[in-house]
Structure formats: structure tokens, C-alpha cells
Structure 1
Amino acid sequence: MDKRNLPALVASRICHDIISPIGAIGNGVELLSLSGGSSPELDLITDSVASANSRVRLFRLVFGATGSGQMLKPGEITALFRDLGKTGRLSCTWQVDEPEPRDHVRAALLAMLCLDTALKTGGEIRISKTGDRWTVRAEGRTLRREDGLWSIIEGGEDVSDVSPASVQFLLLPLALSGLGRSATVADGPEMLEISF
């Protein structure tokens, strides 16, 4: 066994163990609402459960172990994005029509997480593919990127003090290296784009 896969296995285990109780809470909330128990508190719990569920699904795809040759259908990603978008801060659009290998989808979602850090007040992220080239594009009024982290994506030096919230900046180049690819970053006044 390749011990470099241990962190992904740990992430998969954590996501697997957390998703079950979140689902049970969601089922309980649904039963409460069916019995006529509607309140602002119940609505808050419902929204929180849905948000936690979608985040765990995202983290399982991005940080979890991948099966050999596993393919993901467009509907799986669009459903995930629909659930993630319910918080209202960020809108994500999957513009890829064919099933794609999970390791390619992982790279695109890692790029999305990198772009999310620059959208301080929200915005839109679109993921598309033309031929063999992926493009992950963020648009928003207040884009702000931290140059040290962004240089890692294009093969610059690693930053020694990366926080857990920014681990995607370290993982994206590793994921792309495994695919035999590298990333380029383009930016403008209200856009930021990663392509690979």
C-alpha cells in the first residue's frame, strides 16, 4: 500500500462517519416538520443540516480516497452545487456535460476551493471543459487573492505557514501532477481563473 494515500483514507473515513449522523438529524427534522412543527428554530436546523451535508459530500470528493477509474456523472456535481448554493454566498455552475474521471473532478473542485478564498463577499464560480482543458472561473465584485498562496498553484515555492483553511493550495498542484498537468492563473478586475 502506498502510504501517501493515508491522508485521503483518513478523510474518507471521517466523511463516512459524519455523513450518517447528519443524515439521521435531517430525517428527524423532516419528521418534525411533517408533524406540523414549523418554527424559525426548526428552519435554522434544517438549513444547517443541509449545509453540513453538502459540505461533507464536497469534502469527500475533494479530500477522500478515489477508486481506480471511478467516473462521476454531471448530475452528481450539479446536485452538489445546488445544495451548496442554498447558503446564498456563492453560486457554482458545472458546465461539463459528460461523465468525468473522479481525479479530474477532484482537481477542478480543488481549484474551486482556491477561488472561493478570493471571493470574500461571494460571487459565482463556473467550471467548464473545452477539449481536454479545464477552466475554473470566479467572478465577483471584491476579489482578493493572497499572492503567496497563489504562487504555489503555478509551481512556485511552497509557503511554510499554510493554514488548514488553505490546504487546497497545496493539494491542487499535487493532484495536477498526478494527472501530468500544471495550472495557469489569470486575473482581471472582477475575475480570477485557474485552467489546467
Structure 2
Amino acid sequence: MTISPVDFASLLCSRLCHDLLSPVGALNNGLELLADEHDPDMRARCLELLNESAKASANKLKFFRLAFGAAGGFGEMVDAREARAAIEGLFGENHRVKLGWLVEDTTLPKPAIKVLLNLALIAGDALIRGGRLDIGAESVGGAVEIVVRADGPRIVLDQELRGALTGTSGDAVVTPRAAAAHLVQALLTEAGGTVQVSAPDEAVLLFGVTFKS
């Protein structure tokens, strides 16, 4: 499927706005409650909730800036620690998803970092009831190999995301929730890479990517 740059930018912006709506809305509600609340204990709780919402908003912005935007600088390589910090900020704070980081390279090509982050986003969202998310990557013989594994009591990767990832969506309409998957496919197509996705009936969700560094 071919999507115009304008439509693709719209998809990414819609996805970002969707993910920020909840924590930003919580900030607004918390401020309204704080304005009308006079009990010291309740005010302290409101401030605690405001702090949590502000931190969640900041973490999401940092993640999407690196996954979708130009964070990491304009060089060809990006510090892998930035990707780890972004993923930990997105998933690590709520303790719903346990993270395993298996990346030894100190830097990776920018396209590889973006693919890794977006696959982590998709896999983490697929863990409906939480679970474990393992992320590995290494440079081998002029290529970068990435593996993302999600394991939990319930894993849901719907056909839209699966089709967008593998480039088999056909003429189906791409919605904002599939923006990350479409970005992965676009990056791999540009780099001459490939992606493998585990079968729907597998007990775990597994993504495997290889492309030239």
C-alpha cells in the first residue's frame, strides 16, 4: 500500500494525540479538582496524581520524539541507551510490562533505532494484560538484526497491524493505530530489509528484522 507523505504525517500525529489524550486529560481534571479541594490530604493526593500524569506525558513525548521524530541528532548513528530509556519510560513506570534489554551495541543506525522502538511499541500494546517484553539487537556482518519478543497471559495483534507490518494490507485503509507498523514497513522497504512475524496461533508474539546497516 502506498500512502502519501501528508497522509502518513497525519497518521503519526493522530497516534501521538491519541496516546497523549489520557495523561493530558488527567492533568486537566486534576487541576480542576485541586482548585475546588480544601482538605489537605485530598490536595496532596491531587498533587500526586498531577505529578504522575505529567511524568507519563513527558515519557510519551520523549518516546515518540525518538520513534517518530528527529531526536537522537542528525547523524547516522544513535546511542542505544536513548532507545532503552525511552522504552523504560513508556512501559517501565506502570509495572504492567517487565522489560528485558539484550542490546550490547552502544550505537545503532538511526533507522534501526526507529524500527526497534516502533516494534517495541506494537509488542507492548499487544500485551493486553501485561507480561514481559524482551528486546534484542546486534550488528552482524554489515547488517543489523533485531528481535522483539512479547510474552503474556493474553496477546492481541490484530490483522490491520499484522498486514501493515508485512506489507500485505492491500487496499485496506490504514488507521492511526497502525501508524507505527506502517513506519516499520516503510523503513525496511527503504533499507532493503525484511520483517518476520510469528503466526497468530503462537503462544508468544515474535518480531524478527534484518536489514543492511
- Partner residue of 2:93 out of 75, 86, 92: 86
Shift of 1:42: 1.5
For 1:108 and 1:78, locate their aligned partners in 2 and report how far apart those are by CA, in whole Å: 10
For 2:195 and 2:49, locate their aligned partners in 1 and report how far apart those are by CA, in whole Å: 39
Which residue identity is paired with 2:180? Q
Query: Contact 1:81–1:93 (CA<8 Å) still a contact in 2?
Result: no
- Structure 1, unaligned runs of 5 or more: 26-36
Shift of 1:151: 2.6
Query: Contact 1:148–1:159 (CA<8 Å) still a contact in 2?
Result: no
Alignment of 1:111 with 2:124, yes or no, is: no
- Structure 2, unaligned runs of 5 or more: 28-40
For 1:159 and 1:95, locate their aligned partners in 2 and report how far apart those are by CA, in whole Å: 37
Go from structure 1 to structure 2 and tell me whether the alpha carbon gap of 1:159 and 1:141 turns closer, same or farther (over 3 Å shift): farther
Go from structure 1 to structure 2 and tell me whether the alpha carbon gap of 1:159 and 1:91 turns closer, same or farther (over 3 Å shift): farther
Summarize deviations over 1:60-80 as a string: whole Å, max 9, x none: 111113754342223222322
Alignment of 1:126 with 2:134, yes or no, is: yes
CA RMSD, Structure 1 to Structure 2 (Å): 3.2
Summarize deviations over 1:147-178 as a string: whole Å, max 9, x none: 24303322313463333122112211001112
For 1:51 and 1:61, locate their aligned partners in 2 and report how far apart those are by CA, in whole Å: 16
Summarize deviations over 1:107-129 as a string: whole Å, max 9, x none: 11111122233211122222102
Alignment of 1:50 with 2:55, yes or no, is: yes
Summarize deviations over 1:21-63 as a string: whole Å, max 9, x none: x9xx9xxxxxxxxxxx982211111111111111101111111
Q: Which has the higher contact order (CA 8 A, sep 6+)?
A: 2
* TM-score where L is the length of structure 2: 0.68
Which residue identity is paired with 2:57? A
- Partner residue of 1:150 out of 148, 162, 175: 162
Query: Contact 1:51–1:87 (CA<8 Å) still a contact in 2?
Result: no
Go from structure 1 to structure 2 and tell me whether the alpha carbon gap of 1:94 and 1:179 turns closer, same or farther (over 3 Å shift): farther
* TM-score where L is the length of structure 1: 0.73
Alignment of 1:195 with 2:202, yes or no, is: no
| Paired residues, number | 174
Go from structure 1 to structure 2 and tell me whether the alpha carbon gap of 1:65 and 1:78 turns closer, same or farther (over 3 Å shift): closer
Query: Contact 2:97–2:133 (CA<8 Å) still a contact in 1?
Result: yes
For 1:46 and 1:121, locate their aligned partners in 2 and report how far apart those are by CA, in whole Å: 25
Go from structure 1 to structure 2 and tell me whether the alpha carbon gap of 1:134 and 1:164 turns closer, same or farther (over 3 Å shift): same
